[in-house]
Amino acid sequence: MDPLSTLWETFFDADAMREALPEMLTVGLPNTLILAVSAALLGSVLGLLLAVAGISRTRWLRWPARVYTDVFRGLPAAATILLIGVGLAPLGMQVWGPDPYPLGILALSLIAAAYIGEIFRSGIQSVEAAQLEGARALGFSWSDAMRLVIIPQGIRRVLPAWVNQLIALIKDSSLVYFLGLVASQRELFRIGQDYAATTGNESALLLAGLFYLALTVPLTHVVNWIDRRLRHGRPATAPADEDEDDDTSALSGPRKENGDDHHRDDHLGQPAGARRPPRLRTEPGAARRRPHRRARRDGLRDRAVRVR
């Protein structure tokens, strides 16, 4: 059999995709967004706290933050999800019941916080020290200067890196299926995997991958546009009133001057018909004449006043 035809039938079967599409839209996509958005919000808050603790001068804040970051960045995501989801399952049964989503969101948040904390820490430390000194000189406390001046600038500088981590978090949400999900709790990847196991065709998995692309690619371009606007600002545009005036003057043409009109002379700035001041005539030997003593003395006096 032709390898290309085998590849096409295995991954690009339109009938298999059409069969899995309704369930992916109604069940898989909402569950994936719930997992990703919840973990992103909680992970960003925890990451910001880790970043502030990591740059703190207090040792008992800085060391635990670094140990946490090293541990959760070094462990595989699947191992962390199993550790939290299975190890804390008895506690989760008492608090939330049999729903595995809270523990899955907690595991994803702890993973994301380790990476986002390092991203925020690098952005905060990239802000010039003069910014903090200037804020303190204006009367801000250290906490107010960090909250209102330093942290907003640091987050704006690392916005693309932060969004890259959110994209990775959307893809890591597919690992929650390790915790065991019922039919109504399945996310995109799990639905595609179930259809592939049932039909023996992998087209549903490819459709799930297309859904992930539809979520991540627009997010990347939107954040790049926001970052460009924050760095360069809005492009300058001419006011609408000036444009209308220019269009009106261009259509009407030059105005005619009449004797009764009170137009200003373009060169002298005087009303039309007014007597012009007489021009000074330069005689041939005027340039060689020495200035009068009184005029020279007045000029020196004026110069002395200006110097004082």
- The mean per-residue pLDDT over the stretch 215-241 comes to 75
pLDDT at 264 over 60: no
Write down the number of H helices and E strands in the chain: 15, 0
148 is a domain residue: yes
d(CA 169, CA 165): 6
pLDDT at 270 over 70: no
Of 112, 130, 108, which is closest to residue 48 (Cα–Cα)? 112
> pLDDT (tens digit, 9 = 90+) per residue, 77-109?
999 999 998 888 888 888 887 788 889 999 999
The pLDDT assigned to 80 comes to 92
> pLDDT (tens digit, 9 = 90+) per residue, 167-219?
999 999 989 888 887 778 888 999 988 888 888 888 889 999 999 999 999 98
Backbone angles phi, psi at 57, to 5 degrees: -80, -10
Residue 178 contacts residue 85 (beta carbons within 8 Å): yes
90 is a domain residue: yes
The structural domain count of the chain equals 1
- What is the longest distance spanned by two Cα atoms in the chain? 115
Residue 113: C-alpha distances to residues 39, 68, 147, 211, 231 (Å): 9, 9, 19, 25, 26
Residue 114 contacts residue 69 (beta carbons within 8 Å): yes
Question: Any idea how long the chain is?
Answer: 308
d(CA 263, CA 271): 6
The pLDDT assigned to 202 comes to 87
Question: Higher-confidence residue: 305 or 90?
Answer: 90
pLDDT at 261 over 60: no
Query: Which of 13-27, 42-56, 121-135, 247-261 shows the lowest mean pLDDT across its residues?
Result: 247-261
What does 231-284 look like in DSSP terms, one character per residue? HH-SPP---HHHHHHHHHHHHH-SPPP-SSS-PBPTTT--BTTPPPPPPPPPPT
80 is a domain residue: yes
- The mean per-residue pLDDT over the stretch 113-122 comes to 94
d(CA 185, CA 174): 12
Reported confidence tier of residue 304, pLDDT bands at 50, 70, 90? very low
In DSSP terms, 264 is beta-bridged to 271
The pLDDT assigned to 178 comes to 84
pLDDT at 2 over 90: no
Six-digit token string for 192? 């595609």
242 is a domain residue: no
167 is a domain residue: yes
Reported confidence tier of residue 269, pLDDT bands at 50, 70, 90? very low
286 is a domain residue: no
Buried-state track 155-171, b at ≥16 Cβ within 10 A, e below 16: bebbbeebbbbbbebbb
CA atoms within 13 A of residue 234's CA, in its CB half-sphere: 3
CA atoms within 13 A of residue 85's CA, in its CB half-sphere: 23
Query: Which of 6-15, 101-110, 219-228, 293-302 shows the lowest mean pLDDT across its residues?
Result: 293-302
Question: Which distant-in-sequence residues (6+ apart) come within 8 Å of 193 by Cβ?
Answer: 177, 204, 205
When the pLDDT of each residue in the chain is averaged and rounded to a whole number, the result is: 79
Q: How many CB atoms lie within 10 A of CB 66?
A: 16
CA 111 to chain centre: 22
Burial group, residue 75, by CB count within 10 angstroms (0-12, 13-18, 19+): middle
253 is a domain residue: no
Residue 80 contacts residue 110 (beta carbons within 8 Å): yes
Domain range for 167 is: 3-232
Reported confidence tier of residue 293, pLDDT bands at 50, 70, 90? low
Residue 209 contacts residue 200 (beta carbons within 8 Å): no
246 is a domain residue: no
Look up the CATH number of the domain holding residue 59.
1.10.3720.10
